[in-house]
Structure formats: C-alpha cells, structure tokens
Amino acid sequence: MIELGLGRINRLLRHTPQPWKAIHVSGTNGKGSICAYLSAMLHASGVRCGRFTSPHLIDRWDCITIDEQPIRESIFREAEAVVMKRNEVEKIEASEFELLTATAFEVFYKEKVEMGVIEVGLGGRLDATNAMENKAVTVIAKIGLDHQSLLGNTIEEIAREKAGIMRPGVPCVVDRSNIPSVQEVILNHAKEIGTDVVLSSTESAFLDEIKRHDLAPHQLDNLACAYTAFHLAYTKLESPLHRLLPAIQNIQWPGRLQTTDIRAVTGRREPILLDGAHNVQSAEVLGSYVNGRIRTSSNKVTWVLAASRGKELDGIMKEILRKEDCVTAVEFGAVDGMPWVKAMAAGDVLEAASAAGIDTARLHNSGTDLPGAMRWAVTVAQGGPIVIAGSLYLVSDVLRLLRDAENVKNSLLD
C-alpha cells in the first residue's frame, strides 16, 4: 500500500544538510531521460552532479549516480545504515521509497555534490522527493494518465498533483507538447504561488545540430526540456556549450528503446529491442518506433510482455500489437526495496493481447520463467524482430539475467 505524504520524509531528513541546489523533474513520461540529459550536461560543464532516479535497473544503488557513475555499494550501504537507524530510533515508520530518497540525499551531502537532479517517484506534491530544500529549477515533462487511483481520474487532476513540485520564485520548465488543458492547470498554479512557467523550446543552434542525429520526436521534446532547464540552472560565467553535444551523444539510457544482445541466454545472434513502456503514451512511442524501424523487414514482431498489477492494458496493447504478431506473457520477480510492486498474472496480460486481436495460437504463457519466455520468443521469431516490453521491472529482470549469464561465461573462461 502506497501512502503519499511528506511528514515521515521530513522527519528522516531533519539531520541531513542539503547545501546542494536541485533540479526537480516531474511528469508521466520522459522524466528519466530528462534527468539523464541534465546530469550529462552539468557533468560536462564541470559541475559536481548527483542524480537520483527510480526505479533502479539492476542493483538498488544504481539509482544514485555521482558525476555520471553509479555509486559504489559500500557508499550506498553506509548512507542507508544512517537513515535506517534514524528511522528505527525515532520510530518514523518510513516507507521503502522514503528511506531510499533519504539515502540519496545523505549520499549527496557526503559526496559534496553541487547540484542534484532528482526524478519524482510518484505524482509530485506529496512525493518524498518534494521534501528537498534548495530548488533552482523545476521541470514538468509530458503528462498522461497513469496511477489514477492515487493522483486523480483526469489528466487535469494529475497535472495539478505534478505541479505541486513548483516553488515560489523558482522557474518551472514545462514540456510544450503537453495539451492546452494541462498547460492551463500548470499556469494557474504558477500564478497562485508566484512563479514563472517557461515552455521548453526546440529553437536553438545546439538543438539544430542534435536534430541531425536522428532523434525521435519524443526524445527531442525531452532534450528541449533538459536544455531549457540547464540554461536556467547553470550560473557560471564560462559558456560550456561546446561540451554539451558530445555529452548528449554519449548518453545511453538503458531500457528505453535499447538494442541489446541476448545471446548469452538464448544463443540468438540477432539483437532485440528492450523497452520499459508501461502506459498508453509510452506505448504509443514504442509502437511508432517499432512500426517505423523494425517492421520494415517483417510484418511479424514477437513480443515478450509483462505488466504491473493495476495497469490498464487495453490501450497499451492497441498501440503496440498487430494481428500478425506473437506474444508470450511473463511475470517479473520481486522488486528489491519496492515490496508493493506486484506483477500482473501472465494470463491477464494474454487476455489483453487477445482482446487486441492476437489469435490464441500466437499466444504463450511463460508464467514466471523469463529465460523460458526469451527462448520461446527466439524459436517463434526465427531470426525476426523481438521486443521485450511492458514494464521497467521486466527490463530490470532481463538486464540482471544477461549480466549473470555473462558473469558465468567469463568465470568459465578464466
């Protein structure tokens, strides 16, 4: 059970100084990418930068980076122990995410970061990350329908919750691709609290140069948000613009339209696509990418899909599936540090795929057997395209499985 609120996190952070300035990023889609772009820009500009995003991908501590590198486990454990002891001694009864957020802030203080880039966990107004003290800029990415049971039943209600990260006098960058009713909610809240909204802009020589590198439209929107926020947050006199392009070009954001090799698990030589799309907006982006770039050589795509409980899959399936496709459903494993996250039953995922028009002969239930699901997909695809998608928690399981398989192979070679 998720219980939003700032009371517990404020008590946890009472003894953690926050001298660093922050860029706080909310929204439904694109938050992680915007954070990745921002921290890369700040690092390239000589700013000691920390980044906190969620969920983690392989290990719990990889959600916290300093100067573009995940922190060492020993640093994480030391800060976590401080936070856990505080939680126990003061009987705070903080949630897992509140403990993780406090651990990240403890790491930022001890590692003497100048600026932190922080992704909202859920919503904004009552999210644990909203307890930070020194915001330089806030960012609201593309907003869509997700987590309605906690944030509101309409996109406008959700926008109001996301806008809760804004602060008086602190500029807020808003993705200009948001629909007018969402922008109106954000503008009204800005007027209420006394701050300015800055719409992201794709008009600059830097972004003109980036456009040559074949970015998808949503990636360009995310980069425009990050670039606009960077200019508001970076206050040093020296211009770092000549260093930004290489920094952006070198970014690799796992689990977002990621091409990867699964040979270590399945023997397949052809690469596959791995993506964490888990709502209608992100599924629309994934479907557009698959249809434009992957279906060119084959009408049939073989999918390995999972979902978290409570997700409304009908809209997602309509965006990504075609009747020629094959689908196996799988259930991701327990999520370290996030016990409230549960996998949807594979049978329920297949029901949604069937409702989207996939013939039952093309459906397969892999239960909790992820390696088996991947091998089934390889057999059915016969060298054709494979996409693994539906949940960042599935992405995590796949990346962890591939890492473990590589470690076994390397140990045999030693």
Boundary of a domain, candidates 214, 249, 284: 249
Q: Are residues 212 and 237 in the same domain?
A: yes
Q: Are residues 382 and 406 in the same domain?
A: yes
Q: Are residues 233 and 194 in the same domain?
A: yes
Closest CA to 27 of 57, 53, 45: 53
Q: Are residues 219 and 339 in the same domain?
A: no
Q: What is the pTM of this model?
A: 0.81
Question: Domain residues for 141?
Answer: 7-249
Six-digit token string for 262: 């699964």
In a domain, 230, yes or no: yes
In a domain, 268, yes or no: yes
Boundary of a domain, candidates 195, 230, 249: 249
CB distance 234 to 47 below 8 Å: yes
* Dist. CA 271–CA 188, nearest whole Å: 47
In the prediction, which pLDDT does 367 show? 96
Q: Give me the amino acid identity at 265.
A: V
Q: Are residues 131 and 271 in the same domain?
A: no
* Strand blocks (E) in 204-325: 258-260, 272-274, 302-305
In a domain, 370, yes or no: yes
* Dist. CA 103–CA 88, nearest whole Å: 14
Six-digit token string for 186: 């954000």
Q: Are residues 41 and 156 in the same domain?
A: yes
In a domain, 241, yes or no: yes
* Dist. CA 87–CA 96, nearest whole Å: 11
Q: Are residues 299 and 317 in the same domain?
A: yes
Domain harbouring 71, CATH code: 3.40.1190.10
User: Which residues are 55's β-sheet partners?
Assistant: none
* CB neighbour list of residue 158: distance below 8 Å, 6 or more residues apart: 28, 123, 143, 144, 145, 146, 147, 148, 151, 152
Q: Are residues 146 and 224 in the same domain?
A: yes
Closest CA to 32 of 279, 310, 342, 392: 392
pLDDT tens for the 414 residues of the chain, in order? 456 778 999 999 999 999 999 999 999 888 988 999 999 999 999 999 999 998 888 888 999 999 999 999 999 999 999 999 999 999 999 999 999 999 999 999 999 999 999 999 888 889 999 999 999 999 999 987 665 545 556 889 889 989 999 999 999 999 998 999 999 999 999 999 999 999 987 777 666 666 666 666 777 888 899 989 998 998 776 666 677 777 777 777 777 888 999 998 999 999 999 998 878 888 988 998 899 888 877 789 999 999 998 888 999 999 999 999 999 999 999 887 778 789 999 999 999 999 999 999 999 999 999 999 999 999 999 999 999 999 989 999 999 999 888 877 666 665
Q: Are residues 286 and 398 in the same domain?
A: yes
Q: Are residues 117 and 239 in the same domain?
A: yes
In a domain, 1, yes or no: no
Q: Are residues 320 and 202 in the same domain?
A: no
In the prediction, which pLDDT does 67 show? 94
Burial of 222: CB neighbours in 10 Å, binned 0-12, 13-18, 19+: buried
Q: Are residues 205 and 75 in the same domain?
A: yes
Count of structural domains within the chain? 2
